[in-house]
Amino acid sequence: MNMQRFEKEKLENPMVLRTPVVRKISAEHFKEIKSLPKDEIFKLCEELLKNGDGNLGEIARDWAYRCRRRYEKKDFKTFESWLKKYVKSWGPCDHLCAHPLGHLILQYPELAPKVKKWAKSKNRWERRAAAVTLIPALRRRLLLKEAFQTADILLQDEEDLVQKGYGWMLKEASNRFPKEVFRYVMKNRKKMPRTALRYAIEKMPAGWKKKAMRKEE
């Protein structure tokens, strides 16, 4: 594929196209490269990611996700480098973490300790990523212990988007482990920022929500 022509003709202004349009373009052009070795596809992805957080980056992450049946443990280093170098806002963070990175961890749960290290990063997107990356595994009833350990580290994080990130992680965990997550919330609700708490209990029964949100008399 001629990447320069692709970038110029399809996404000259990388911030104007809606997500469904971008996904359609991504699917069409993936047909041209899907037979390439995975590492070569990832190199093309990196070329797109260098253009920033716009639609080209969205295509790069989508192409990487389309390779998920070919993932290997070594791909963690590639995805981690993309997180550290190219993620500058919450949208790209969640797209990378809930799709390529998250499905890599789903396939290789033993990599989860590497993800947990991000929770102590000075970079807020890495801290958010530590939580969001676990969501695909939690949806398959995996890595609950690791989710709680990550939430413990992020429990009183001052960044609103990090609070929302680990709150979202707990909310997704509550779909598969409702009692365990409720116990965790009740144990920690006095320390948890209200934003994280509300996200975490969003899908819980009304009575549980009331208990979790009750102010101490």
Q: 3-state SS string over 110-167? A: HHHHHHHHHHHCCCHHHHHHHHHCCHHHHHCCCCHHHHHHHHHHHCCCCCHHHHHHHH
Give me the pLDDT at residue 101, please. 98
Report pLDDT for 3. Answer: 52
Delimit the CATH 1.25.10.90 region(s) of the chain. 88-217
Q: What is the mean pLDDT of residues 49-63?
A: 89
Q: CB count, 10 Å around CB of 113?
A: 10
pTM: 0.90
Question: What is the CATH number assigned to the segment(s) 88-217?
Answer: 1.25.10.90
- The predicted structure's pLDDT at residue 20: 86
pLDDT of 200 higher than 70: yes
